[in-house]
Structure 1
Amino acid sequence: MADSTASASITHANNVPQDNAASTSTATVNEAAHFAKTSRGRDFWLSFSAIVVTNLLSALDLTAIATILPTLTADLNGGDEFTWVGSAYALSSTAILPLIGGLADSFGRKPVMVCCVVLFAIGSALAASAQNMHWMIGARTVQGLGGGGIQTLTNIITSDLVPLSERGAYQGVIGLTVALASGIGPPIGGALAEKASWRWLFYMNLPLCGISLALLVFFLKVRTPPGTIKEKLSKIDWIGNLIIISGTTLAMVGLSWGGARFPWTDAHVLAPLILGLVIIVIFCLFEVYVAKNPTVPLRVLANRTTASGYATSAVHGITSISIIYYLPIYFQAVLGASPIRSGVDFLATALLITPFALICGIVVKVTKKYRPINYAGWVMMTAGFGLLSLLRANSNVAHWIGYQILVSAGIGIVFSSTIFPVLAPLPVSLTASALSFFNFVRAFTETWGITISSTILQNQLKKNLPTAFTSQFPEGSEIAYAAIPAIPKLPEPLQTEVKVAFAASMSVIWKTMIGFSGLGLLLLLFMKEIPMSETADDKFGLDISEKETVVQLTTLVSGELESKTQKSADARAIV
């Protein structure tokens, strides 16, 4: 399209009177310069590759943790604190997200992305050397600060490089990296837990972080906004970010403790949860009425299509994280699979999430519509969780592989599709704020998903596990999660009774997710089909220097003019 536009302008320039040459030349220069900046050349592909590899690093760690969790919990004597290994990462990665958008707008995408990778590396080193569960939780908190920023900036930089109307395939590639991580993460984690040590899951992040940093430093060429450090710092909504970080942290602490460490009616749960939610409401009021440079501009939430996109993303966060975290537990506790085997069994899910995430992006790019593919994804998820709820202790291979297919396809589709209704109604200048809040919503609700599923599992295990099993542990069913590796060694019929109890308990998780998936389907009724933007934000994007742009411009214009002149001369010669 860019080539034809430039050629049309040049052809027009050859046919206008001489006194209009200056204005026509200016128009031609502008259009050719636009072509030079938006063409998919070497700089674009190197920049895009750098952020994709970095995003894969973050996603791989998040998905691999599920299969090492029982072994890690037992090794560090974690007990009922096992949920914090996932929740600490989710808490910090969620709380930092609103701030990431402001920092990226003020200081530029590249410096903030580099800092996030460094934080992720530090957290990985700390996690690899953890000697107790508190140490591990602290390390995962640091990791989350970097990991959350990496995932958000990946989407923001992609939005800077590619207009929304063309972003489907590229968004599909982003989804593909997360889906790929979902596929290879569990087997890698399981192999390390069984054959080496779970610590190597974190150690291997260090050289990968080095590769990511090299790619970012040398190949990510995006523009950085001008201004002094003081000017850039003054543009950030520090008070608003402090409020939302405080509220998010308190709410997520309450969620993590509820049903796992304390009963839901306990003050240790209710106090931080209620206080956190109240502070989040205060944040919303502050952003609307007080903040000069709001972290989340009101316009981001004012459109019903954008709001429905955020809402469906929230529901997707709850449902998708439940299967990533708890389906491997079914394989280990019920089927008696080793960590490696549970990772292999999970491939039936991961290998379908991968292509459907990419297919979704391509479909949106080709059709220029996002509503139909959203409907398809949510229908698949609802039906798929219904099938998963039928899994029992004696389910055969065809059942637990086949039942994963539908839900996995739906998860892959919705993962890529929700971003389009969020951004379609908004001006491109709000992309960073909108995407930061988008990732905040998804990450915050993923914590709800982990907590909801964990609470269901613990409460159901209390009711279903035989006393002969729970009486072996001082903390009863609370320690049962860490005892999963010991289940295959139990004598019969106790072993079968424990497996039946786990299968029945996990069935309740999947039934709950049927309800959430149905809610996601209903929320699509508020979503309108809005034409997607054809342009990206000129303030950011590829950092093509003025000299480089002029060279491309001169080559393009002179080549077209020479061709036109030669054709005219040939025509005159024939005549």
Structure 2
Amino acid sequence: MDSPPSRPSSAKPSDDLSEGVPKDWMFWCIIFSFVLSTLITAVEFTSIGTALPTIAHSLKGERFIWVGSAYALGETALVPLCGGVSQIIGRRPIMLSALSLFALGSAICGAASTMNMLIAGRGVQGLGAGATISSVQIMLSDLVTLRERGTFSGLMALAWAVGGGVGPVIGLQWLRVGTGMLLVDLNLPICAFNAIIILLFLRLKTPPATLREKLSKMDMIGNFLVTVSTTFVVIGLTWGGVRYPWSSGRVLLPLVVGLIGLVVFVIYEIYFCKPPVVPIVFRMDWTAASGYIQNFLMAVVAATLGYWFAIFFEACKDKSPTGAGVDGLGLSYSVGLMAIVGGVAIKMTGNYLIQIYIGWMLIIIWAGLLTTLRADSSLAKSVGFPVVIGSGGGIIAVAMLFPILASIPVTQTAPSMALYVFSRNFGYIWGVTAGGAIIQNELKRNLPASFLAQFPQGVEIGFETISVIPSLEQPLKDAVRNAFGTALKVVWQLVLGVAIAGSLGSIGMKQLQLHTNIDNEWGRDESAVINHRWSRTPQRKQRTEDIEKRDQGDN
């Protein structure tokens, strides 16, 4: 039986037992594991961007956009299912399965000798990454209160930013396509290390119930609808204007089917499903609903910049993939720094609304400046403009969680967090695929015809052209650079438009109090921790007795 919904609490943090689990060394080992898991998924997401031209050249593939899209699709497709399954079998088995999938995908990519095999491996990696991030967010809610969450969300955002910054820098060194060593030499040991930490130190409660009772709570139809619909949308976005014209039935059909499927999913969840995948979400007010919308839009901005900005340095500034990654570090690390600052500020003040307004304002102003970048713009502008955009993104990345969780009882955290991760990952799909489609469509119009004639595979293989730009003779070299600069300008205009939509979505949100309690049916199993041979202390035993008394009082 679910525990009663949480009651609104004072904005002032309390000092009683409601302040989550003890912050002992075992707790920090678990947090370290979460940080490391977030880090490697971010590296995987961003490292492909700088290495994509080399991959296209090495494997002679015509579907290179799917190298990114497959990962983003896998990262999204099964996330709603993770919330429900974690309620049935517990959090730890899902986390361990996710790490195993991620490691398996890395091994497949490492053995890839064809584009199709690489895409398949990236899809498996994405499945593991999505389940990992979803599990991390759910388990954080089990371990810390919402009022404390700002600091820990900031840590996860910092880990993502560090991974996002490191990924492009090591893109070529790490993505040794065809050598059988693609990420195997680092990903597999990291996944194994994380699994050991989870096995040793993560002791979470699992509410007692029979398997039949637990399975009855699974929404298989809803999960099927959202997974298939998302897949159709990605297919349409990836093919549009690149493989087939936007007016082609092969593009319109999957887009229409996918979007209709998502609408059907929402209607089914509201009116027909008992219990739904996201039982509380569709009965929430505008504050929480707006949080999901803005989370999606912020993800579009983050993915577009994080995935495609390095191409500007490679195509327009003659930078190597590693050099492009170094020049883009300002974007990644400004996100991480401001995420930490924003998280601490929310913990101290309990106010998230002002940060959301400031974050969107920074993104809008500097995205506007980014649209003025040309192929011959100074390197200072190219490096400096994204820093401020990243600062705004870091603020929003942390703050957007709070209007959602503050609107619901803590008993609904797991499915709500699964939908939160899904909306963010779905935004990543749009950022990656829409950005790639825009670049390819603009290159088709702007690259010199004589230059394109050198690539009989067509404009879909356009990224292979980046590797030959430094060796071109003038004036062809400048013409090709300007074509890429023009294409990327349209991408930055997309970022600006999405940011404006996000800021409009924040209108009407309310500042809610941040509760200081966790779901007693989950959380850390203190009795299991005490029985751990490294944790038998009188203080911990007393802590467990106090928690048991509190739980009996709540019941």
TM-score (normalised: structure 1): 0.87
Q: How far apart, CA to CA, are the structure 2 residues paired with 1:170 and 1:519?
A: 28
Q: How far apart, CA to CA, are the structure 1 residues paired with 2:177 and 2:80?
A: 40
1:552 aligns to what? 539
Gaps of 5+ in 2: 1-13, 531-535, 546-555
Q: Quick check: 1:242 aligned with 2:224?
A: yes
Q: How far apart, CA to CA, are the structure 1 residues paired with 2:18 and 2:227?
A: 42
Post-superposition offset of 1:152: 0.9
The answer (yes or no) to whether the contact 2:113–2:177 under 8 Å persists in 1 is: no
- Pick aligned residue for 2:87 from 97, 105, 119: 105
Change (3 A) 1:313 1:33: closer
Q: How far apart, CA to CA, are the structure 1 residues paired with 2:347 and 2:20?
A: 21
Change (3 A) 1:328 1:552: same
Q: Quick check: 1:280 aligned with 2:253?
A: no
1:362 aligns to what? 344
Post-superposition offset of 1:191: 3.6
Post-superposition offset of 1:222: 1.8
The answer (yes or no) to whether the contact 1:192–1:198 under 8 Å persists in 2 is: no
The answer (yes or no) to whether the contact 2:203–2:529 under 8 Å persists in 1 is: no
Q: Name the % identity.
A: 37
Q: How far apart, CA to CA, are the structure 2 residues paired with 1:37 and 1:159?
A: 9
Q: How far apart, CA to CA, are the structure 2 residues paired with 1:412 and 1:159?
A: 20
- Pick aligned residue for 2:467 from 458, 478, 485: 485
1:220 aligns to what? 202
User: Following superposition of structure 1 onto structure 2, how do residues 336-355 of structure 1 map, counting pairs within 5 Å?
Assistant: 336-355=318-337
2:240 aligns to what? 258
Q: How far apart, CA to CA, are the structure 2 residues paired with 1:182 and 1:198?
A: 24
User: Following superposition of structure 1 onto structure 2, how do residues 125-164 of structure 1 map, counting pairs within 5 Å?
Assistant: 125-164=107-146
- Pick aligned residue for 2:483 from 493, 501, 504: 501
- Pick aligned residue for 1:178 from 133, 143, 160: 160
Q: Quick check: 1:60 aligned with 2:43?
A: yes
Q: How far apart, CA to CA, are the structure 1 residues paired with 2:216 and 2:67?
A: 35
Letter in 2 for 1:379: M
Q: How far apart, CA to CA, are the structure 2 residues paired with 1:537 and 1:413?
A: 27
Equivalenced residue count is 527
Letter in 2 for 1:75: S
Post-superposition offset of 1:300: 4.6
Q: Quick check: 1:43 aligned with 2:50?
A: no
Letter in 2 for 1:375: Y
RMSD (Å) for aligned C-alpha atoms: 2.4
The structure whose residues are more often helix, as a share, is: 1
SS in 2 for 1:407: helix
Change (3 A) 1:63 1:202: farther
My pick for the range that moved more, 96-105 or 127-136, is: 127-136
Q: How far apart, CA to CA, are the structure 1 residues paired with 2:544 and 2:38?
A: 38
Q: Quick check: 1:401 aligned with 2:388?
A: no
Q: Which structure is larger by alpha-carbon Rg, 1 or 2?
A: 1
- Pick aligned residue for 2:371 from 383, 389, 406: 389
What CA deviation, in whole Å up to 9, does each residue of 1:304-347 have, x standing for no partner? 10011011111111111111111110011111111111111111
The answer (yes or no) to whether the contact 1:190–1:343 under 8 Å persists in 2 is: no
SS in 2 for 1:433: helix
What CA deviation, in whole Å up to 9, does each residue of 1:196-238 have, x standing for no partner? 9795335421111111111111122222232344433332111
1:22 aligns to what? none
- Pick aligned residue for 2:288 from 291, 299, 306: 306
My pick for the range that moved more, 31-40 or 537-546, is: 31-40
Gaps of 5+ in 1: 1-30, 559-575
Post-superposition offset of 1:553: 7.2
Q: Quick check: 1:417 aligned with 2:391?
A: no
Change (3 A) 1:403 1:194: farther
Q: How far apart, CA to CA, are the structure 1 residues paired with 2:178 and 2:271?
A: 55
TM-score (normalised: structure 2): 0.90
Letter in 2 for 1:482: E
Q: How far apart, CA to CA, are the structure 2 residues paired with 1:537 and 1:550?
A: 25
What CA deviation, in whole Å up to 9, does each residue of 1:325-379 have, x standing for no partner? 1111001111111111111111121121111111111111111000011111111
- Pick aligned residue for 1:542 from 524, 539, 542: 524
Q: How far apart, CA to CA, are the structure 1 residues paired with 2:221 and 2:467?
A: 47
Post-superposition offset of 1:47: 2.1
Q: How far apart, CA to CA, are the structure 1 residues paired with 2:528 and 2:487?
A: 63
2:533 aligns to what? none
Post-superposition offset of 1:78: 1.4
Post-superposition offset of 1:85: 0.6
- Pick aligned residue for 1:326 from 303, 308, 325: 308
The answer (yes or no) to whether the contact 1:300–1:426 under 8 Å persists in 2 is: no
The answer (yes or no) to whether the contact 1:462–1:477 under 8 Å persists in 2 is: yes
Post-superposition offset of 1:392: 1.4
